[in-house]
Amino acid sequence: MSNKSSNSVMWFRRDLRLNDNPALIAASKIGEVTPLFVLDPMFLERSGAPRLAFLFRSLRDLNRQMNGALVVRVGDPVDVVAKVAQEVGAVEIFAAKDFAPYGQKRDAQVVRALEKIGAKLNHAIPSTLKYIPLILRLTSGILCLRVRPLIQHL
């Protein structure tokens, strides 16, 4: 029987790199990591052929780098992430923080689904955005004009 505390799920989303990935680093500290990518039907329906082709090439490359270990599922992430966590006996799920409105709403729903099975979603700030919270604190929530458009498009 496996020890649940030694398993985690790394939920890949926008950040498909292995090197210097804060969420993956955090997941690897728990023990065995199950890498997961969920093909959200909403994303598939709204994305054009070039974007999907790029995504599928990137996923193939990521899977190759992981020696075929990447688990790819199609479905609502709210259901799929919890199901995979249960399948591998993970109580810790790691992902890069998503700042987009859809991602925020989805993640709140995933948190509730995981709580029902005794699991937890841990967010890591992508290294490209790690200073945004500090900037917000230092400026009392007021961003300079050059940073504001970047955050609005995330």
Q: What is the CATH number of the domain that holds 63?
A: 3.40.50.620
Identify the band that residue 125 occupies on the pLDDT scale cut at 50, 70 and 90. confident
Residue 74 CA to residue 40 CA, distance in Å, equals 6
* Structural domain includes residue 150: no
* Structural domain includes residue 57: yes
Predicted structure pTM score:
0.79
Could you give the number of structural domains in the chain?
1
Query: HSE on the CB side for 26, CA within 13 Å?
Result: 20
Residue 28 CA to residue 40 CA, distance in Å, equals 25
* Structural domain includes residue 114: yes
Q: Does pLDDT of 87 surpass 90?
A: yes
Burial of 37 (0-12, 13-18, 19+ CB in 10 A): buried
Q: Residue 125 in contact with residue 20, Cβ under 8 Å?
A: no
